[in-house]
Amino acid sequence: MSDDVVNWLRRPGLGKYSKIESERRFLLTEMPTQASDPRLIEDRYIVGTRLRLRRVEVGSQVVYKFCQKVRPDESAPSTVAITNIYLDEDEYKKLCQLPAAPLRKTRRVWRVGHHTFVVDEFHGDLAGLLLAEIELLAPSPNLPLPAPIGKEVTADERFSGGYLAHASSDEKARIVTL
């Protein structure tokens, strides 16, 4: 009998359907000129939950996802467990009826040597905020940090998508000027 059958009762972020990621996030001083492959991302953070509904658009192609992202260990802010469910358009539209806080951004890919960052350029009240994120196989304190990477904000919850989506207009204005 498999461990999943025996251990059917588990917390969010645990189990074979969750993927553990080691992420680091950084503020950027400007958009890197080499960042490419833009895609529009529209997130809806479901009120009162840790769930996110996502619509990703590249040209005429659209992907819909329902996601839960949790930190299995609060003392390790760079480690997250992510569980995705891919949806069709009708499922997405039904879930869009849930109360949610929206967040819009354009994501680009930025390759620096052997590393690949994603760069998020936020829209609306967060216009001007640029965040770079990299997913690593394991924590990497010796990661090369090329310009225009500024301050690391991995452990600063204000720069998580859920916080940014739910923040007040005043708080968003403060975040953009950091």
The sign one gets for the Cα dihedral 117, 47, 11, 56 is negative
Residue 13 pLDDT exceeds 70: no
Which one has a higher pLDDT value, 78 or 176?
A: 176
- CA dist., res. 134 & res. 136, Å (int): 6
Give, in order, the Cα–Cα distances in Å from 117 to each of 75, 92, 98, 122, 148.
24, 28, 32, 16, 12
Lowest mean pLDDT among 12-16, 38-42, 85-89, 117-121: 12-16
The sign one gets for the Cα dihedral 82, 74, 28, 116 is negative
**Percent of the chain having pLDDT more than 70?**
85
The class that CATH gives domain 11-176 is mainly beta
Residue 21 pLDDT exceeds 90: no
Which one has a higher pLDDT value, 8 or 41?
A: 41
pTM of the predicted model, to two decimals?
0.87
- State the pLDDT confidence band at 141, using cuts at 50, 70 and 90: low
Phi, psi dihedral angles at 87 (to 5 degrees): -115, 160
- State the pLDDT confidence band at 97, using cuts at 50, 70 and 90: very high
Residue 157 pLDDT exceeds 70: yes
The pLDDT tens digits for 57-76 are 999 999 999 999 887 666 66
Across the chain, what does the average pLDDT equal?
88
